[in-house]
Structure 1
Amino acid sequence: MEASATTILTPDVTGTQGRNVTSVEKPAIILVPWDPDSPDHVERMRLQRVACGWKQDGAESWRPLQREGKIGLHWIVLAPAHPDTAPRLAAHKAQFPSETTPLRDTSRSILGRPHAVHPDIAAAENNFVPVGHISLDGWHADPSLHTSAADGVYSLTTFYVSQAMQGVGIGGAAVAECERMAVDDFGAKTMTLDTISNEDVAVDSPRRIALNRPIQKVTNQDWYMRRGYKAYQRRPNSWFDTDATGKEWWCTAVCLRKGLV
């Protein structure tokens, strides 16, 4: 398992790149705030972090930050009206049977603002089944991301999409919705994030080979750069994985930013 003071993002690697998305297309996802005071929300977050394999015990440390409005952790929920929602949700439930019980939208605020339940969620009696999560943060402990709500710089962190539906555009839709929310609701000017560098996932990377990691069709770094993010800093020895022999393999993180306005 990787260990670091930062969070590696784990999106799908195809998203909606190259698609002809029109203004009348039904949205694929809805973002619903994570409730740090709900035992059900906390337990579901634990399960999804276990599935993610990264920061499995993170929920406890995120609870006070969510309450204080420093971070904005959201569930990724498939939009009921989208034509692909039913089969996608069925696939998620089949692969993760411990995640089939609906949660309730019980959050009162998000990033310091009152939360209003989305009409589609309200129509389902506030019930939903999340297929991932993503955080839009106005504060971050790592200064290299320059996260500051006061300066209009928000960051994407703690990103996970169910393995049952990665590669069908859910990750791209979640990022796009975070960007929209950042601008429309919080006046953001810039988005930042960090992810593993290309060389650490390359075909001939000693780290990738030692850890027996699959070769990615599109790397995390390139996935974000296709969406307008640009690298501005490299951070060596950011976190590590341990191979089967117990050896630690550190990686370099790349910090990226995107102007939103």
Structure 2
Amino acid sequence: MACTLVPINLGDPSEYEELRIQRVACGWDNTPEKLDQWREKQTEGLKSFFWITKTKPTPEPGPEPEPGASSSTPTTTIIRAGHISLDAFTSPPNDEVANAAKTNLTIKTFFIMPAHRAGGLGSAAMRLVESLATSAPYGSPNCEFITLDCLSKAHYYDPVLGPYVRRVMPICNQEWYERMGYVVWKVEPRYEDRVVLENGESRDIVYDAAFMRKRVAKE
């Protein structure tokens, strides 16, 4: 799947609103306070934020061409299919995950709209954002690791929580990132949630996050 990364301008009201709509579809981090915080981090040079775009040809409307005549030249429609960021900060602060010196950077805010999830768009976007880790202004030649965190796959296969997790998250993200070359170096409690189990029981839980990283390829 061919795609491009186009910087997001959160100072543009139309782009701000489009990102908010995509975050609502994502289900979290969609408040004005969160989007304003991201805009501040962009200004500080700590969040490199991109639209994940793809194109499709759009034939120009018009009459059918005469026999033997060339057809009309198609135009191209740019689709903002999702978004992704490469961050030089994390909350809570952790230099192993990301830091302002950009020796470690973390992939965050990664979301593709459901209608565009087929065809390898996600893996293409990951490869593109990884390629930016060693180049200013997004990264640094001194970058050693690209990191990320996701739900530990232990929950995905848990006999009690697993059915709920698989219903909400049909794909195991940790295994998907493993196929992209990321490895786990620590697991910590991170994500709070209230779940309704198969037996109807409601339970407040804290999911474990798998912190994963991939060594940056140097030329």
Give the structure-2-normalised TM-score. 0.77
Counterpart of 1:251, as a letter, is Y
Which segments of 5 or more consecutive residues in structure 1 lack a partner in the other structure? 1-26, 88-122
Residue 211 of structure 1 contacts residue 241 of structure 1 at CA under 8 Å; is this kept in 2?
no
Query: What is the deviation of 1:215?
Result: 6.7
Distance across 2 between alignment mates of 1:252 and 1:201? 11
Identical columns (%) = 30
1:70: how far off?
0.8
1:199–1:205 Cα contact (<8 Å) kept: no
User: What do residues 176-234 of structure 1 show as CA deviations (whole Å, max 9, x unaligned)?
Assistant: 000111124432331001000001122x4423434672573x51111111111110010
Matches within 5 A, 1:8-47: 28-47=2-21
**What is the total number of aligned residue pairs between the two structures?**
190
Q: Structure 1 residues 160, 151: closer, same or farther in 2, change over 3 A?
A: closer
Q: Give 1:140's match in structure 2, choosing from 65, 71, 90.
A: 90
Larger helix percent: 1
| 1:113-124 equivalences in 2 (<5 Å) | none
Give the AA of the match of 1:226. R
**Is the 1:211–1:243 Cα contact (8 Å) retained in structure 2?**
no
User: Structure 2 counterpart of 1:182, which letter?
Assistant: A
Rounded Cα–Cα distance in structure 2 between residues aligned with 1:142 and 1:205? 31
How many Å apart are 1:153 and its aligned residue?
1.1
- Give yes or no for the alignment of 1:191 onto 2:146: yes
Alignment check: 8 A CA contact 1:195 1:221 kept: yes
In 1, Cα distance between equivalents of 2:207 and 2:53: 31
Question: Following superposition of structure 1 onto structure 2, how do residues 171-190 of structure 1 map, counting pairs within 5 Å?
Answer: 171-185=122-136, 186=139, 187=141, 188-190=143-145
Map of 1:207 onto structure 2: 161
Distance 1:215 1:30 in 2: 26
Aligned 8 A contact 1:71 1:139 in 2: yes
Q: Distance in 2 between matches of 1:60 and 1:211?
A: 30
Q: Residue 239 of structure 1 is aligned with which of 191, 203, 208?
A: 191
For the residues of structure 1 that align with 2:169 and 2:86, how far apart are their CA atoms? 29
Q: If you compute each CA radius of gyration, which structure gives the higher value, 1 or 2?
A: 2
| Structure 2 residues not aligned, in runs of 5+ | 59-74
Question: Quick one: which amino acid aligns to residue 154 of structure 1?
Answer: L
8 Å contact 2:184–2:211 — kept in the other structure?
Answer: yes
In the alignment, residue 240 of structure 1 is paired with which amino acid? E
Structure 2 counterpart of 1:133, one-letter code: H
- Counterpart CA distance in 2 for 1:178 and 1:208 is 31
Q: 8 Å contact 1:133–1:161 — kept in the other structure?
A: yes
- What TM-score do the two structures reach when normalised by structure 1? 0.65
* Other-structure match for 1:256: 212
More strand as a share of residues: 2
